[in-house]
Chains A and B, each alone.
Chain A
């Protein structure tokens, strides 16, 4: 008995939204550790930028016809929990298809936030040059605060990699570097660039 209905062979093939992303030659066809971590952190930064970020991820999945990969909230949580830093880290692997879906969704969401991302980065640079604290700017400090709260509530504080981000300063630094990565995601080839970079140093 076949699981795939014969009448709809296109549904089982790769969704249009992710077909531009090529499969890197990684062993077993699953995402390496750094990729799993990076994808989840990028989504975390989007959630810190956008109050309805987690809702937006699901609705974007629907919009891009990726519901077959990210079915619902629970399955999104399961996929994201392949991040080894998570409190309830899943041992199940992150397939390339799942990773592609998340990258595509993330890049589509960041494009909507382009203006805000640019503004926050320019402000942070100016504040840094004047040696002023980040909380001088309401939206920037709001983003940083939300990112810290998200990170602390979801990441496992016993992990060595998480221990490195105990202080507010370290977490702010991480939040800003993720914001910069989001900026690159907004670009013409941002999606491909992000996708390729996830496998840097992981292929033969």
Chain B
């Protein structure tokens, strides 16, 4: 008569079938001493793992062994003269792989397997991945079997701590790895640190009129805002090398290079300097690279030109249009009343790029363009700030060698003088052929004579022949500011329009 013993847990049921050798007739729980078949049912597995005594011994041994390894973290290979049929391996801290090789006695059941036994011996083993809870249920089923003294009494729980020799080597490797790990991590830290250090901006050396200003550029004790004092190399290099790069630190209101020391800045009030920094920081980054601006300008023109409709307005509509790097229209603002009222007649509302909710489109660099829709159907696209030549990064702040006339009354009297002399000589010239506004910055001395000018946009450079400025200037014509004059000058913005209209206004406004 066979005896069956069952050890049940939520994820694992162990069923042992065997015989009792003792012939005690009336025994409530006879001793199972010969194992015939062992079944291990695991949750989620259709077929149980089955085998004879070999399989069961191997299973118990592997489970027992792995349970200790799991608790201590010390891996010890299973000692034995034969490779175990059952193996347990760690896949990750919470997953364990049970591998069961087809037991030899199970193969013998099949006659065909006898013929080519070698091949079936190498049959693919069963692999089952157990979670820790499932593993525990397997361990517990085995432990309950161990605790049952009426079943296979010759198999008992043998627990002993693993010997030192299994861990010494691992420890020494760990110790060896420490210096290397520190080295690698410090390299990584250094890499992270260097990542945050801004690349020092490369600036073109700019001419400086007074050598005194060079000496006044001293390493400012106050660290520049936004940069870390110790890690940033820019202040260090600025103080160490009196190269032209250092000289460039001053008039441009660029947030990177500003050390707000009033000594090094020709702008008289340090407060305005700070304000400029703040506005520069608050406003989104602007695309100023002339070639990029030109490319965007063309793309914008094409885009608008394709979409333009028959005009139904009688005034020019002027817009300030912000364009992203990909020539997408990010934003537009009407620049005159007609533009505001007739916006729907332009293709702008349809073309404006609506950012995906949550994204910040305003932070990406944009180029600003002046877009004019004329009642005639003509379209004009030009950079909002005019054309910037590389030597003048910001027209407002480019160096001025001569003292500037700032008295409003003087400027008011000089404006009509300049207008008169320019418009009179322009009338002598043939009708304008240029199609875009020509913008210049013109220097005028105390008596109203033109002493210099500067083209501020591309057409202005190209169409110099059509305008009278070269002929009117006393100093040799040059797009570079004249530095020889020491007399005070007034600055004016002069715009020649294709329609023949001339605009003259003080550079810094009325």
Residues of chain A whose beta carbon lies under 8 Å from any beta carbon of chain B: 24, 118, 121-122, 124-125, 128, 173, 176-177, 180-181, 183-184, 187-189, 192-194, 196-204
Contact = CB atoms under 8 A, between A and B. Distances in A.
17 contacts: A24-B161, A121-B132, A125-B94, A176-B93, A180-B136, A183-B136, A184-B139, A187-B139, A187-B140, A188-B143, A192-B159, A193-B68, A196-B68, A197-B71, A200-B69, A200-B74, A201-B72
Nearest to B95: A125
B473 to A, nearest CB: 69
Given A184-B67, A188-B144, A188-B146, 14 more contacts: A24-B161, A125-B94, A176-B93, A177-B93, A180-B132, A184-B71, A188-B140, A189-B143, A193-B67, A193-B68, A197-B161, A200-B167, A201-B162, A202-B164
Contacts of A181: 71
Given A188-B140, A198-B72, A176 B67 contact: no
A46 to B, nearest CB: 16
B450 to A, nearest CB: 69
A193 to B, nearest CB: 6
A74 B147 CA distance: 38
Nearest to B94: A125
B68 A200 contact: yes
A133 B238 CA distance: 49
Contacts of A193: 67-68, 71, 159
A192 B159 CA distance: 8
Nearest to A119: B133
A95 to B, nearest CB: 17
A153 B117 CA distance: 63
Interface in B25-82: 67-74, 76
A125 B131 contact: yes
Contacts of B72: 197-198, 200-201
A194 B143 contact: no
A interface, over-half SS: helix
Interface range on chain B (Cβ under 8 Å from partner): 20 to 34
A173 B94 CA distance: 10
B166 interface: yes
A194 B73 CA distance: 12
A55 to B, nearest CB: 27
Contact of A204 (B70, B74, B146, B163): B163
A131 to B, nearest CB: 14
Contact of B93 (A173, A196, A202): A173
Nearest to A34: B72
B94 A128 contact: yes
Contacts of A192: 157, 159
B163 A194 contact: no
Most A CB within 10 A of own CB, among B68, B69, B133, B140: B133
A201 B163 contact: yes
Interface in B146-190: 146-147, 157, 159-164, 166-167
A125 B159 contact: no
Contacts of A199: 161
Nearest to A129: B131
Nearest to A181: B71
Contact of A183 (B93, B132, B147, B164): B132
A95 B25 CA distance: 51
Nearest to B92: A128
B94 A180 contact: yes
Given A128-B94, A193-B67, A201 B161 contact: yes
Contacts of A118: 133
A73 to B, nearest CB: 28
A196 B143 CA distance: 15
Contacts of A122: 131, 133
Given A122-B133, A188-B143, A200 B162 contact: yes
A189 B147 contact: yes
Interface string B120-134: 000000000001110
B131 A184 contact: no
A192 B166 CA distance: 21
Contacts of A184: 67, 70-71, 136, 139
B94 A201 contact: no
A189 B164 contact: no
Contacts of A180: 70, 94, 132, 136
Contacts of A197: 68, 71-72, 74, 161
Nearest to A117: B133
B166 A189 contact: no
Task: For the complex of A and B, list the 4 residue pairs with the smallest distance between their C-beta atoms, beginning with the closest.
Answer: A201-B167, A200-B72, A197-B71, A199-B161
Contacts of A200: 68-69, 71-74, 76, 161-162, 167
Given A125-B133, A180-B94, A188-B147, A201 B159 contact: no
A24 B157 CA distance: 16
A125 B11 CA distance: 15
Interface string B215-244: 000000000000000000000000000000
A186 B31 CA distance: 28
Contacts of A196: 68, 159-161
Contacts of B160: 196
A194 B136 CA distance: 13
A187 B143 contact: yes
B146 A189 contact: yes
Most A CB within 10 A of own CB, among B69, B74, B144, B161: B161
Nearest to A173: B93
A196 B64 CA distance: 12
